[in-house]
């Protein structure tokens, strides 16, 4: 097969994965949040409301696409794409199994973060183009918080890069093979330094993916829906698809970097070669556990104030992250 065709097919696989994830996560969100709030969530369409989300997708696709008169036409049309494309690109380096990634990059971790750093630009574009004060405020908040937390997020995975000695996501998974003292799996979350790094990662990751304790950019109670207020039909669909997909990606990075990626504990690596689908299934299962925890946090905590959140990022998390990187470096040198 020609390399161009093969590459196109891989991109299509990523698109399919992203769509499937979106549908899956909307249903999951409704059910999980529902049960957390002592409600049932969707029940009537299909078994336990299973067909509700597919029907909603049809609704989004067939609804009228309204373009308000005052908007900046070009940017208004471009913004959903500017949000969607980086999210799609971020799937490229994720390792779904041994050698199972769309492209295998030596700098996979950096690549994923670099691509995700483009998302706030799209949100800012959506906010500005909408010609609506709430939208602009939402877009500005999204950009401000993602700029502030990009640094702690990168710093939180650096200790792992130092320990594993590689930035390739597949390489980081390989570095977590085997057992400590014959009992504990060598996952980085069970390493004392890794555990602190993971705590930083969770906070910074929740902010980066606009999750509820930190979803100031949408904040329904004050900004309607923030940057998405003026969007309708599938443009709105694309904005939200990419938000769900960013959650998937952050969870996938957490799983890869801290929880041993596609490996199950205590199962020797050779076994995975026997059952080809097992690693991918394990990986996706772990990712959804991560997403479930995010939703759990979303259903539990109230929204943080904007200034408090910015203070936490710049004044606490960045120094903490820097100190952790320094400490890891010293320990790494002392041990080696």
Partner 1 sequence: MSESVNGVVFFMLAFATIGGALMMLATRNVVHAAYWLLETMLATAGLYLLLSAEFLALVQVLVYAGAVSVLVLFVIMLTLRRRSDAIRPFEPGLGGAIVAALFLGAVYLALTRFVAPAVEMPATAPGVVEFGQIMFTEWALPFEIASLVLLVALVAAVWWSREGEDR
Q: Please state the closest distance from residue 86 (CB atom) to partner 1, in A.
A: 9
Could you tell me the two tokens for 110? 């950096």
Beta carbons within 8 Å of 199's beta carbon, 6+ residues apart: none
3-class DSSP assignment, residue 180: strand
b/e per residue 141-153 (b: at least 16 CB within 10 A): bbbbbbebbbbbb
Q: Please state the closest distance from residue 50 (CB atom) to partner 1, in A.
A: 38
Q: Please state the closest distance from residue 243 (CB atom) to partner 1, in A.
A: 18
Contact residues for partner 1, defined by CB under 8 A: 2-4, 72, 74-75, 105-107, 110-111, 113-115, 117-118, 120-121, 124-125, 128, 131, 136, 140, 143-144, 147, 150, 167
| β-bridge mates for residue 179, sequence order | 185
Phi/psi for 47 (5° steps) reads -70, 120
Q: In whole angstroms, what is the distance from residue 143 CA to residue 322 CA?
A: 23
Task: Specify the residue, 75 or 190, whose C-beta has the smaller distance to partner 1.
Answer: 75
Q: Please state the closest distance from residue 199 (CB atom) to partner 1, in A.
A: 23
Could you tell me the two tokens for 61? 């696709």
Task: Specify the residue, 121 or 293, whose C-beta has the smaller distance to partner 1.
Answer: 121
Task: Specify the residue, 4 or 275, whose C-beta has the smaller distance to partner 1.
Answer: 4
| β-bridge mates for residue 184, sequence order | 180
Q: Please state the closest distance from residue 83 (CB atom) to partner 1, in A.
A: 14
Q: In whole angstroms, what is the distance from residue 190 CA to residue 74 CA?
A: 49
Q: How many CA atoms lie within 13 A of 56 on its CB side?
A: 19
Q: In whole angstroms, what is the distance from residue 230 CA to residue 17 CA?
A: 27
* DSSP classification of residue 264: P
Task: Specify the residue, 128 or 188, whose C-beta has the smaller distance to partner 1.
Answer: 128
Task: Specify the residue, 167 or 287, whose C-beta has the smaller distance to partner 1.
Answer: 167
- Residue bearing tokens 């938000």: 243
Q: Please state the closest distance from residue 166 (CB atom) to partner 1, in A.
A: 8
Q: Please state the closest distance from residue 121 (CB atom) to partner 1, in A.
A: 6
Q: Please state the closest distance from residue 117 (CB atom) to partner 1, in A.
A: 3
Q: Please state the closest distance from residue 266 (CB atom) to partner 1, in A.
A: 32
Strands (E), 165-272: 179-180, 184-185
b/e per residue 257-294 (b: at least 16 CB within 10 A): bbbbbbbeeeeeeeebeeeeebbeebbbebbbebbeeb
- Residue bearing tokens 């304790």: 213
Helices (H), 3-72: 3-36, 52-62
Task: Specify the residue, 154 or 193, whose C-beta has the smaller distance to partner 1.
Answer: 154
């Amino acid at each position: 097969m020609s390399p161009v065709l093969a590459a196109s097919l891989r991109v299509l696989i990523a698109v399919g994965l992203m769509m499937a994830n979106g549908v899956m996560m909307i249903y999951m969100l409704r059910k999980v949040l529902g049960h957390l709030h002592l409600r049932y969530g969707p029940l009537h369409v299909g078994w336990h409301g299973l067909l509700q989300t597919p029907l909603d997708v049809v609704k989004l696709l067939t609804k009228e696409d309204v373009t308000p008169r005052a908007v900046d036409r070009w940017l208004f049309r471009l913004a959903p794409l500017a949000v969607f494309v980086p999210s799609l690109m971020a799937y490229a380096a994720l390792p779904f199994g041994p050698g199972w990634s769309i492209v295998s990059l030596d700098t996979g971790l950096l690549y994923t973060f670099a691509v995700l750093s483009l998302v706030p630009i799209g949100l800012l574009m959506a906010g500005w183009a909408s010609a609506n004060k709430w939208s602009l405020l939402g877009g500005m908040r999204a950009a401000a918080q993602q700029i502030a937390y990009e640094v702690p997020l990168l710093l939180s995975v650096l200790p792992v890069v130092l320990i594993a000695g590689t930035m390739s996501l597949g390489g980081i998974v390989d570095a977590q093979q085997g057992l400590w003292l014959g009992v504990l799996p060598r996952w980085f979350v069970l390493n004392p330094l890794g555990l602190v790094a993971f705590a930083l990662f969770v906070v910074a990751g929740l902010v980066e993916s606009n999750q509820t304790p930190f979803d100031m950019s949408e904040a329904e109670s004050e900004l309607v829906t923030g940057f998405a207020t003026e969007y309708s039909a599938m443009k709105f669909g694309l904005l939200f698809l990419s938000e769900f997909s960013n959650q998937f990606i952050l969870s996938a990075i957490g799983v890869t970097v801290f929880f041993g990626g596609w490996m199950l504990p205590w199962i020797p690596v050779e076994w995975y070669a026997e059952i080809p689908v097992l690693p991918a299934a394990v990986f996706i299962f772990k990712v959804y556990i991560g997403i479930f925890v995010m939703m759990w946090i979303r259903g539990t905590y109230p929204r943080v104030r904007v200034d408090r959140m910015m203070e936490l990022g710049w004044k606490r998390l960045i120094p903490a992250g820097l100190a952790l990187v320094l400490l890891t470096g010293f320990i790494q040198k002392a041990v080696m």
